[in-house]
Amino acid sequence: MTRLKTLAWICCLTLATVTAGLAAGISGDYLETRNADVYTGYCVANSEVGLVGDQAIMAWHIKEGSWNGVQLDGLSVVGVTKASATLGDPFANPYPARSVLIVDTRANAEQRLALREFAQSMAQDLLKDIVKVEVAPIQMEIGKGENHGSAKLEAGTLARIQTRCIGGKDHLCGNEALYYQPLTSLAHAMPVFTLNDEFKGGGLGVNWRINNKSSAFVGTFSQEGAIAMK
Protein backbone atom coordinates (compact mmCIF):
# COMPACT_ATOMS: atom_id res chain seq x y z
CA MET A 1 0.00 0.00 0.00
CA THR A 2 2.84 2.33 0.90
CA ARG A 3 4.49 1.54 -2.44
CA LEU A 4 1.29 2.39 -4.33
CA LYS A 5 1.01 5.72 -2.49
CA THR A 6 4.62 6.51 -3.35
CA LEU A 7 4.05 5.72 -7.03
CA ALA A 8 0.89 7.83 -7.07
CA TRP A 9 2.77 10.73 -5.46
CA ILE A 10 5.56 10.47 -8.06
CA CYS A 11 3.03 10.40 -10.92
CA CYS A 12 1.23 13.45 -9.55
CA LEU A 13 4.51 15.31 -9.10
CA THR A 14 5.60 14.44 -12.66
CA LEU A 15 2.24 15.52 -14.10
CA ALA A 16 2.36 18.78 -12.16
CA THR A 17 5.90 19.46 -13.40
CA VAL A 18 4.99 18.76 -17.04
CA THR A 19 1.79 20.83 -16.78
CA ALA A 20 3.70 23.75 -15.29
CA GLY A 21 6.27 23.45 -18.07
CA LEU A 22 3.65 23.38 -20.79
CA ALA A 23 1.93 26.40 -19.27
CA ALA A 24 5.11 28.42 -19.51
CA GLY A 25 4.79 30.93 -22.33
CA ILE A 26 6.63 33.69 -24.09
CA SER A 27 5.34 37.09 -25.20
CA GLY A 28 6.55 40.45 -26.43
CA ASP A 29 6.73 42.92 -29.31
CA TYR A 30 7.31 42.28 -33.01
CA LEU A 31 8.54 44.45 -35.88
CA GLU A 32 8.78 43.51 -39.57
CA THR A 33 9.84 45.29 -42.75
CA ARG A 34 9.92 44.24 -46.39
CA ASN A 35 11.11 45.77 -49.63
CA ALA A 36 7.55 45.77 -51.00
CA ASP A 37 4.45 47.62 -49.81
CA VAL A 38 2.22 45.49 -47.58
CA TYR A 39 -0.59 48.05 -47.28
CA THR A 40 -1.31 49.23 -50.79
CA GLY A 41 -3.59 49.14 -53.83
CA TYR A 42 -3.58 46.47 -56.52
CA CYS A 43 -1.92 48.85 -58.98
CA VAL A 44 1.19 49.20 -56.81
CA ALA A 45 1.20 45.58 -55.66
CA ASN A 46 1.02 44.26 -59.22
CA SER A 47 3.90 46.50 -60.27
CA GLU A 48 6.10 45.11 -57.46
CA VAL A 49 5.30 41.39 -57.40
CA GLY A 50 8.07 39.28 -58.89
CA LEU A 51 10.47 42.23 -58.85
CA VAL A 52 10.79 43.09 -55.15
CA GLY A 53 9.40 41.81 -51.86
CA ASP A 54 12.06 39.13 -51.49
CA GLN A 55 13.83 40.83 -48.57
CA ALA A 56 12.61 41.12 -44.99
CA ILE A 57 13.69 41.93 -41.47
CA MET A 58 11.84 40.30 -38.56
CA ALA A 59 12.53 41.38 -34.98
CA TRP A 60 11.22 40.02 -31.70
CA HIS A 61 11.64 41.66 -28.30
CA ILE A 62 10.74 39.25 -25.53
CA LYS A 63 9.09 41.03 -22.62
CA GLU A 64 8.79 37.89 -20.55
CA GLY A 65 8.94 34.16 -20.91
CA SER A 66 11.16 31.21 -21.69
CA TRP A 67 11.94 28.87 -24.56
CA ASN A 68 13.04 25.26 -24.03
CA GLY A 69 13.28 26.07 -20.35
CA VAL A 70 15.63 29.04 -20.85
CA GLN A 71 14.49 32.39 -19.48
CA LEU A 72 14.62 35.16 -22.12
CA ASP A 73 13.08 38.18 -20.36
CA GLY A 74 14.19 41.48 -21.92
CA LEU A 75 16.20 39.94 -24.77
CA SER A 76 15.78 40.46 -28.52
CA VAL A 77 16.55 38.58 -31.72
CA VAL A 78 16.48 39.73 -35.36
CA GLY A 79 16.20 37.65 -38.52
CA VAL A 80 17.17 39.12 -41.89
CA THR A 81 16.14 37.08 -44.91
CA LYS A 82 16.66 37.04 -48.68
CA ALA A 83 14.08 34.84 -50.37
CA SER A 84 13.84 33.46 -53.91
CA ALA A 85 10.61 35.30 -54.78
CA THR A 86 8.17 37.90 -53.48
CA LEU A 87 7.14 36.88 -49.96
CA GLY A 88 3.40 36.32 -49.77
CA ASP A 89 2.92 35.84 -53.52
CA PRO A 90 0.65 32.76 -53.82
CA PHE A 91 1.91 32.03 -57.33
CA ALA A 92 5.64 31.88 -56.53
CA ASN A 93 7.87 29.82 -54.26
CA PRO A 94 10.03 32.01 -51.98
CA TYR A 95 12.24 29.08 -50.98
CA PRO A 96 15.03 28.46 -50.55
CA ALA A 97 15.58 31.55 -48.43
CA ARG A 98 18.92 32.50 -46.86
CA SER A 99 19.04 34.34 -43.57
CA VAL A 100 21.30 36.13 -41.13
CA LEU A 101 20.42 35.95 -37.44
CA ILE A 102 21.35 38.73 -35.00
CA VAL A 103 21.18 37.77 -31.33
CA ASP A 104 21.26 40.08 -28.34
CA THR A 105 24.74 40.74 -26.98
CA ARG A 106 23.31 40.55 -23.44
CA ALA A 107 22.37 36.89 -23.91
CA ASN A 108 24.64 34.15 -22.60
CA ALA A 109 25.50 31.07 -24.68
CA GLU A 110 22.44 29.12 -23.53
CA GLN A 111 20.13 32.08 -24.18
CA ARG A 112 21.62 32.66 -27.64
CA LEU A 113 20.77 29.10 -28.63
CA ALA A 114 17.25 29.49 -27.21
CA LEU A 115 16.80 32.77 -29.11
CA ARG A 116 17.81 31.03 -32.33
CA GLU A 117 15.41 28.15 -31.74
CA PHE A 118 12.61 30.56 -30.83
CA ALA A 119 13.10 32.68 -33.96
CA GLN A 120 13.25 29.60 -36.19
CA SER A 121 10.07 28.26 -34.65
CA MET A 122 8.29 31.57 -35.22
CA ALA A 123 9.53 32.17 -38.78
CA GLN A 124 9.60 28.51 -39.87
CA ASP A 125 11.27 28.00 -43.28
CA LEU A 126 12.26 31.66 -43.64
CA LEU A 127 14.95 31.11 -41.01
CA LYS A 128 15.67 27.47 -41.81
CA ASP A 129 18.92 28.23 -43.65
CA ILE A 130 20.86 30.59 -41.37
CA VAL A 131 24.13 31.34 -43.13
CA LYS A 132 25.54 33.65 -40.47
CA VAL A 133 24.92 34.44 -36.80
CA GLU A 134 25.90 37.86 -35.50
CA VAL A 135 25.97 39.12 -31.92
CA ALA A 136 25.10 42.79 -31.42
CA PRO A 137 23.45 45.17 -28.97
CA ILE A 138 19.76 45.31 -29.91
CA GLN A 139 17.48 48.18 -28.98
CA MET A 140 13.82 47.86 -29.94
CA GLU A 141 11.08 50.32 -29.00
CA ILE A 142 7.38 50.16 -29.89
CA GLY A 143 5.10 53.13 -29.24
CA LYS A 144 2.14 52.99 -26.89
CA GLY A 145 -1.52 53.79 -27.48
CA GLU A 146 -2.15 56.01 -30.50
CA ASN A 147 1.61 56.00 -31.16
CA HIS A 148 1.74 52.21 -31.43
CA GLY A 149 2.87 52.50 -35.05
CA SER A 150 5.97 54.46 -34.09
CA ALA A 151 8.73 51.90 -33.73
CA LYS A 152 12.49 51.88 -33.78
CA LEU A 153 15.05 49.09 -34.04
CA GLU A 154 18.84 49.26 -33.88
CA ALA A 155 20.83 46.03 -34.08
CA GLY A 156 24.34 47.35 -33.72
CA THR A 157 25.47 48.68 -37.10
CA LEU A 158 23.85 45.75 -38.93
CA ALA A 159 20.16 46.63 -39.11
CA ARG A 160 18.03 49.69 -38.45
CA ILE A 161 14.29 50.31 -38.73
CA GLN A 162 12.12 53.32 -38.01
CA THR A 163 8.36 53.43 -38.62
CA ARG A 164 5.30 55.59 -38.00
CA CYS A 165 1.55 55.21 -38.35
CA ILE A 166 0.09 55.27 -41.87
CA GLY A 167 -1.68 58.57 -42.57
CA GLY A 168 -4.05 59.96 -45.15
CA LYS A 169 -1.22 61.46 -47.20
CA ASP A 170 0.32 58.01 -47.66
CA HIS A 171 -2.46 56.86 -50.00
CA LEU A 172 -1.58 56.73 -53.70
CA CYS A 173 -4.28 54.69 -55.45
CA GLY A 174 -7.17 55.51 -53.15
CA ASN A 175 -8.10 51.84 -52.74
CA GLU A 176 -5.33 50.80 -50.36
CA ALA A 177 -5.87 47.72 -48.23
CA LEU A 178 -3.82 45.08 -46.45
CA TYR A 179 -2.28 43.20 -49.37
CA TYR A 180 0.18 40.95 -47.52
CA GLN A 181 -0.02 39.30 -44.11
CA PRO A 182 2.85 39.28 -41.57
CA LEU A 183 5.45 36.56 -42.03
CA THR A 184 4.85 35.01 -38.60
CA SER A 185 1.96 34.19 -36.29
CA LEU A 186 1.02 37.14 -34.07
CA ALA A 187 -1.50 37.99 -31.37
CA HIS A 188 -1.95 41.46 -32.88
CA ALA A 189 -0.55 43.21 -35.96
CA MET A 190 -1.03 46.45 -37.87
CA PRO A 191 0.62 47.79 -41.05
CA VAL A 192 2.78 50.89 -40.60
CA PHE A 193 4.82 53.28 -42.73
CA THR A 194 8.56 52.65 -43.06
CA LEU A 195 10.70 55.75 -42.64
CA ASN A 196 13.95 53.79 -42.75
CA ASP A 197 14.82 50.14 -43.32
CA GLU A 198 18.53 49.23 -43.42
CA PHE A 199 20.66 46.13 -43.53
CA LYS A 200 24.45 46.48 -43.71
CA GLY A 201 25.60 42.99 -42.81
CA GLY A 202 27.24 40.18 -44.73
CA GLY A 203 26.08 36.71 -45.68
CA LEU A 204 23.18 37.48 -48.02
CA GLY A 205 25.05 39.02 -50.93
CA VAL A 206 22.95 42.15 -50.68
CA ASN A 207 22.59 45.22 -48.45
CA TRP A 208 19.77 47.72 -48.61
CA ARG A 209 18.43 51.03 -47.44
CA ILE A 210 14.73 51.65 -48.09
CA ASN A 211 12.79 54.77 -47.20
CA ASN A 212 9.18 55.92 -47.27
CA LYS A 213 7.10 52.84 -48.04
CA SER A 214 4.00 51.28 -46.48
CA SER A 215 6.05 48.14 -46.00
CA ALA A 216 6.13 47.29 -42.31
CA PHE A 217 4.19 45.70 -39.47
CA VAL A 218 4.24 46.22 -35.73
CA GLY A 219 2.59 43.72 -33.46
CA THR A 220 2.69 41.53 -30.40
CA PHE A 221 3.24 37.80 -30.04
CA SER A 222 2.22 35.31 -27.39
CA GLN A 223 3.19 31.67 -27.64
CA GLU A 224 3.39 28.61 -25.48
CA GLY A 225 7.01 27.96 -24.58
CA ALA A 226 8.53 24.89 -26.19
CA ILE A 227 9.58 22.19 -23.78
CA ALA A 228 12.69 20.11 -24.39
CA MET A 229 11.82 16.50 -23.53
CA LYS A 230 14.65 14.63 -21.83
Of residues 229 and 116, the one with the higher pLDDT is 116
pTM as predicted: 0.86
Judged against a pLDDT cut of 60, whether residue 226 lies above it is answered with: no
pLDDT of residue 75: 99
When pLDDT is cut at 50, 70 and 90, the band that residue 3 belongs to is very low
* Candidate from 16-25, 145-154, 176-185 with smallest mean pLDDT: 16-25
pLDDT digits (tens, 9 = 90+) for 151-205: 999 999 999 999 999 987 877 666 788 999 999 999 999 999 999 999 999 999 9
pLDDT of residue 8: 37
pLDDT of residue 225: 57
pLDDT digits (tens, 9 = 90+) for 72-94: 999 999 999 999 999 999 999 99
Judged against a pLDDT cut of 90, whether residue 44 lies above it is answered with: no
When pLDDT is cut at 50, 70 and 90, the band that residue 227 belongs to is very low
- Contact (Cβ atoms closer than 8 angstroms) between residue 169 and residue 214: no
Judged against a pLDDT cut of 50, whether residue 6 lies above it is answered with: no
pLDDT digits (tens, 9 = 90+) for 52-74: 999 999 999 999 999 999 999 99
pLDDT of residue 141: 97
